[in-house]
Structure 1
Amino acid sequence: MFMSPFKGHSGLKRIFNAAGYSFDGLRAAFTGEAAFRQLVLLNVILIPVSFLLPVSRVERAVMILACLVALIVELLNSAIEATVDRISLERHPLSKNAKDMGSAAQFVALGLIGAVWAVILL
């Protein structure tokens, strides 16, 4: 069976390596992606606001979860864009589709924030 040369560590070393790669990804997203920084700012505002609102713990958790889902989707969208650009900067319909679908996913995630907050607060 073929094994990736990038795999092979196990135990605590693998966990530490994975955590390092995750922090590298967060750093890359924050420094290189304006949309990610904007979502971080939105989360910095909305999450504390959720603690000031007269909602149940479950409602607050759902409000925060919706905000975090948008961050996750933006990380995946940025990863798709980086991969497509790495393969080729040439304009191609499939590349456009991949980038547009990533953007659409982020649009839906932002709509999720709005819908969840609206349903809970209104």
Structure 2
Amino acid sequence: MRKFIKGFGYAFSGLGYAFKSQLNFKVHVSFALLVAISGYCFKLSSSEWLWIIASIGLVLMTELINTAIEQLVDLVSPEIHPKAKIIKDVAAGAVLITAITAAGIGLVIFIPKILQYAA
């Protein structure tokens, strides 16, 4: 049980590292908070909240995995190497695709609500 509880400490340490050192993670967390506040203001339905929560979770998870990959590549290949660049670029591309998908989901959910509110 002690090992299980220590695992949470390691996980929170990783989250803290990402938040302190990764600008993109801070940006994603900021947008997540903005979307959550907007969702509350627009009174999203349960199914809309599920899509929003899943999107936020996937973007943050992908950003964390990208950070881990970048750190690992820097560890095993401290010098500039074309394959190291490809690995980092592909991982960053995964974050970009996830963020674009999340933005699309957000637009599908929020645009009708904004238009209804404006009318």
TM-score of the aligned structures, taking structure 2 as reference length: 0.86
The whole-number CA distance in structure 2 between the counterparts of 1:45 and 1:17 is 32
SS of corresponding position for 2:48 = helix
| CA RMSD in angstroms, aligned pairs only | 1.3
Higher relative contact order (CA 8 A, sep 6+): 2
Q: Report whether the alignment pairs 1:108 with 2:97.
A: yes
Identity rate, percent: 28
- Residue number in structure 2 paired with 1:97: 86
In 2, Cα distance between equivalents of 1:15 and 1:62: 30
- Unpaired segments ≥5 residues, structure 2: 112-119
Tell me the CA shift for residue 43 of structure 1. Answer: 1.0
Q: Which amino acid aligns with 1:96?
A: K
**Aligned counterpart, 2:115:** none
**What does the per-residue CA deviation read over 1:60-107, in whole Å, with 9 as the maximum and x for residues that have no partner?**
221122022111110000000000011122121221111001110110
Determine if contact 1:43/1:68 at 8 Å carries over to the other structure.
no
Q: Give the letter for the 2:32 counterpart.
A: N
Long gaps (5+) in structure 1: 1-11
Checking the alignment, whether the CA contact within 8 Å between 1:29 and 1:78 is kept in structure 2 is yes
Deviates more, 1:47-56 or 1:79-88: 47-56
Shift of 1:120: 2.2
Letter of the 1:31 counterpart: K
Off by >4 Å, runs of 4+ in structure 1: none
2:20 to 21, 31, 46: 31
Partner of 1:49: 38
Q: Return the alpha-carbon distance in structure 1 between the equivalents of residues 3 and 26 of structure 2.
A: 29
1:102 corresponds to which letter in structure 2?
A: A
The aligned length equals 111
Is 2:77 the counterpart of 1:88? yes
Which residue of structure 1 lines up, in the alignment, with residue 109 of structure 2? 120
TM-score, normalisation: structure 1: 0.84
- Rounded to whole Å, the distance in 1 between the matches of 2:38 and 2:53 is 10
Q: Distance in 2 between matches of 1:43 and 1:121?
A: 14
The alignment partner of 1:90 has SS state of coil
